[in-house]
Amino acid sequence: MSDVTPRPPTQTPVLSFPAFPKPVPQIVLWADAGRPCEVLLRDQLSAAGYQVVKWSSEPATGYPPHVHIYPELMWLISGSLTVILPVERRMIELTAGDRIEIPAGLAHGTMAGADGAVYLLATR
């Protein structure tokens, strides 16, 4: 027989996962009269420190949900674009002049409307 008494198992402390703020898209609807001017929109984005490219999507085409490690801004010049936010279980339809900024890490997809979509795609 042994005089050794078994030790109780050591409990490892459970560390809580740090809280992170939930990324929220910023949506701005076009309120100006008339159609948006691509040159003025591009100048405004460049002055705010964005790298800007013009992007277009054919009617009823888009991109499946994906994420980026950087924020992405889409500013519609013409047509319409539905932005799909699967985590939030919602879709947002943008038309000419509307813009949305998608924070880094937020899953999103897109689908162009019946007339396609032309927009400025900007990142910092």
50-89 tens-digit pLDDT: 999 999 999 999 999 999 999 999 999 999 999 999 999 9
Do 75 and 35 contact (CB within 8 A), yes or no?
A: no
For 32-41, write each residue's pLDDT tens digit: 989 999 999 9
Locate the domains of the chain by residue range: 26-123
Buried b (16+ CB within 10 A) or exposed e, 84-100: bbeeeeeebebebbbbb
What is the average pLDDT value for the chain, to the nearest integer? 92
Looking at CATH, the fold of the domain delimited by 26-123 is given as Jelly Rolls (2.60.120)
Q: What percent of the chain has pLDDT over 90?
A: 78
